[in-house]
Structure 1
Amino acid sequence: MAEKEDITVNRNASFSEFGWEFQTNAAIVLFIRNIEDASSVRVEGAHEDIEITLYDGTVIYAQAKARAGNEPGKGSTDRLDGALKTMADDICQGDYRELVYVTNDDYPFGKSHDVTDLHGGGTLSFSELSDAVQDFIKEKARVHGIEGDALQAMSVSVIGFYGNDRDTRYKHVRAAIRDMLERLNLARHADVNDGSLRDQWGTMMRENAGTQNTEITVTKEDFVWPVIVMLCKVDSDDKSFEDYDEEDVQDIVREYESTVNYYTQKFEFVTKVSTDFDEFLANNTGKRSELRRRFIDAQWSSYTDILGLNEVSDGETRSIVAKLVMRKVLRRKDVIKMVKDGVNLGN
């Protein structure tokens, strides 16, 4: 008898872990969908599974319910009922813009109230559902005191998320990430990897959920920073170093990595390089990428003292390190502006 109970506990723990993972990945997708209007997201918030705060002070409350079994539609009405019960508390807060029921079940209202437009993923507002499905939800919602305008603020979002295979489980989440990158004109940028972003954002959301202080959120700045870091990557295959021996560049990059990282984060140095480049732009014409390279080639030696490179006897090493730091500073400046503009993040 005891052995049977242990098996049950393990199975329940597995289902619970799956539900947590779905919740954190749903937070990624919902935040991406609302990123232009959103300022922050909280997983396991004070009132709801996912809370997305918007610039106008209103909140998108989302209740995440995952199907862990292999039968779509099974238990879906119970999950809906549980979501509505929690949403009734959200309504009492008075600051909601939208109430989202998010699930990985293609039959969020059961097979007897099928919505084919949601199969494979999708989002529909309450008013976009058929009259029969609306009546079904109204009946369920009335039990929890939800009526009138609150119903019109509701929507259902289905996000595909199932299976042990990582590519299968995360394919819809990664598709949402690729869609965001497409909107930012970054989809074809080799340095940006949607799989790596999903992993980093998943860790970010899990850590947020595990923080007991519900005032601690993932800000939009926090969220987009991994994209900026990927775009600012500069290494030995950069065009700035094509005139140097590839192996020598790789060795220098490895040896001076800490120096490069330090100065590309140092405010005073970043400000000086950025100001000098803006002045160079004002006095020269051409494509920005070409002007950047011309500026680095012409001015790198003027920064060796600031970078502490005058003690380095090898001239090629001084040149590569100085150029690498300058390239990263200027690349980051351009990238930050591009990404900030794309997600409506003020300077």
Structure 2
Amino acid sequence: MYLNKHINPKKGGKMQMANNTNASPEVFGFDFQVNATIFLLLDNIKELKAIRMEGASEDIELTMNNGSQIMAQAKGIVKGSYDFSNVRRNLKKAIETLSSADNKSVEQLILITNSKNPLNEDTSKSFFYGPPVTVGYNNLSDEAKKVIDNIVDKINGHFDTNKFRICYFMFETDNSRTRYAVIEEKVKDFINQLNLGQVLSSIELMRVWQNDLFHNGSKTDTTIKLSKEEIVWPVIVLTLGKQLPSEYIEDYDQGFIDEVTSQYSYIINTISEQYSLITKIIFDYNSSNCDLSMKERIRKFVANKWTDYISVFSFESLNKEVQEAVIKVILAKVIQQRYLIDNVSRGVSL
């Protein structure tokens, strides 16, 4: 799961694990980048198609459903609440890099940071104290705009300030609960919007996303992105994992089902997170006999249809008893939670 040890993107030219949270500003910066990616994906979840951390040109690249893009530079500062010595340099680097990505398909150019004074300028710093905020160039004071304009005037490239945003959220200290407090709260708000607050832990989902985004960003092929389905379906998997629908597979001893679920949890979860297979199961179930009571309908579907999924799940290598048990567990879990799956799909516009 997640990185209680943080990641060093510099050592040996690859992202590596560091031994403690104080290893270096670079490690802190990469940790910030992972969590900044979560921040932006949640802010854009309904319109999002895919996301990539460590993209071809930017720290964070979002592709939207309409084909447009959001490009972001993440600048994490170890002492973001009071160390403003390098924020102008960070601003300059961000604008220079973002200018190379600015084209007609890009709708937003973002600097995302934990600095409480990202322009090192008095008239704008009040924006960046307190809760997370996104401030557009056009909402800044004339003095703050001049700081940005002076940088833009000196770069060799195009930079549309109308697209420029500065995102801020608190991300500081060596205490993990404090450092990740804002991101955990955003994840919790997302879970509550889906009415899953009673069954899904925000910390658990946050750690899964941190891990998934890190591994995606560590791949050298920058065309490999996380789709919205890949981002959202851990929500389903984590929820399904807490449900054991033994009432629909009564032919088995409870101890056997517990053992199968434990031994083959990786297979069950891997299959369960594949959106196309989940929708196939629900479609097949909805097309089945509707004249029975709901519980009996589910039992009959699981009992009679499990063999249809042996080749679909590529379970031919398992012995028949295990095949049957694993497939029945998957079918029962998915059907039992079909309303939850539908609510999640609609909630994120899948």
User: Which TM bucket (shorter chain)?
Assistant: 0.7 to 0.9
**What residue in structure 1 maps to residue 164 of structure 2?**
154
Stretches of structure 1 that go unaligned for 5 or more consecutive residues are: 1-9, 285-290, 313-319
User: Which of 295, 313, 321 is the matching residue for 1:293?
Assistant: 295
**What residue in structure 1 maps to residue 259 of structure 2?**
254
**What residue in structure 2 maps to residue 43 of structure 1?**
53
- Once the two structures are aligned, what percentage of the paired residues are identical? 25
Please tell me whether the aligned partners of residues 59 and 97 of structure 1 are also in contact (alpha carbons under 8 angstroms): yes
**The structure with more helix, counted as a fraction of residues:** 1
Deviation at 1:233, TM superposition (A): 2.4
Please tell me whether the aligned partners of residues 234 and 324 of structure 1 are also in contact (alpha carbons under 8 angstroms): no
**What residue in structure 2 maps to residue 74 of structure 1?**
84
CA deviation map 1:108-155 (0-9, x unaligned):
1115343323213211111122232222222232222577x7101000
- Against the structure 1 CA distance between its residues 333 and 67, is the aligned structure 2 distance closer, same or farther, given a 3 Å change threshold? same
User: For residue 212 of structure 2, what is the amino acid of its counterpart?
Assistant: M
Secondary structure of the 1:112 match is: coil
**What residue in structure 1 maps to residue 127 of structure 2?**
117
User: Which of 231, 240, 249 is the matching residue for 1:223?
Assistant: 231
User: For residue 136 of structure 2, what is the amino acid of its counterpart?
Assistant: S
Q: Distance in 2 between matches of 1:216 and 1:112?
A: 41
Please tell me whether the aligned partners of residues 256 and 321 of structure 1 are also in contact (alpha carbons under 8 angstroms): yes
**What residue in structure 2 maps to residue 330 of structure 1?**
335
Secondary structure of the 2:116 match is: coil
Moved more, 217-226 or 117-126: 117-126
**What residue in structure 2 maps to residue 173 of structure 1?**
183
Taking the TM superposition and a 5 Å limit, the aligned residue runs for 1:94-105 are 94-105=104-115
**What residue in structure 2 maps to residue 90 of structure 1?**
101
Deviation at 1:272, TM superposition (A): 6.9
**What residue in structure 2 maps to residue 3 of structure 1?**
none
Is the counterpart of residue 232 in structure 1 residue 232 in structure 2? no
Please tell me whether the aligned partners of residues 281 and 335 of structure 2 are also in contact (alpha carbons under 8 angstroms): no
Deviation at 1:21, TM superposition (A): 0.9
Deviation at 1:328, TM superposition (A): 0.7
**What residue in structure 2 maps to residue 106 of structure 1?**
116
User: For residue 152 of structure 2, what is the amino acid of its counterpart?
Assistant: A
CA-based RMSD of the aligned residues comes to 3.9
Is the counterpart of residue 184 in structure 1 residue 189 in structure 2? no
User: Which of 316, 329, 347 is the matching residue for 1:342?
Assistant: 347
- Against the structure 1 CA distance between its residues 13 and 332, is the aligned structure 2 distance closer, same or farther, given a 3 Å change threshold? same
- Against the structure 1 CA distance between its residues 83 and 293, is the aligned structure 2 distance closer, same or farther, given a 3 Å change threshold? same
Please tell me whether the aligned partners of residues 62 and 101 of structure 1 are also in contact (alpha carbons under 8 angstroms): yes
- Against the structure 1 CA distance between its residues 333 and 157, is the aligned structure 2 distance closer, same or farther, given a 3 Å change threshold? same
Q: Distance in 1 between matches of 2:107 and 2:208?
A: 28
**TM-score, normalising length from structure 1?**
0.76
Q: Distance in 1 between matches of 2:69 and 2:38?
A: 16
Stretches of structure 2 that go unaligned for 5 or more consecutive residues are: 1-19, 311-319
Report how many residues are paired: 315
Is the counterpart of residue 60 in structure 1 residue 70 in structure 2? yes
Q: Distance in 1 between matches of 2:21 and 2:307?
A: 63
Secondary structure of the 1:99 match is: strand
Larger Cα Rg: Structure 1 or Structure 2?
1
Q: Distance in 1 between matches of 2:217 and 2:177?
A: 24
**What residue in structure 2 maps to residue 275 of structure 1?**
284
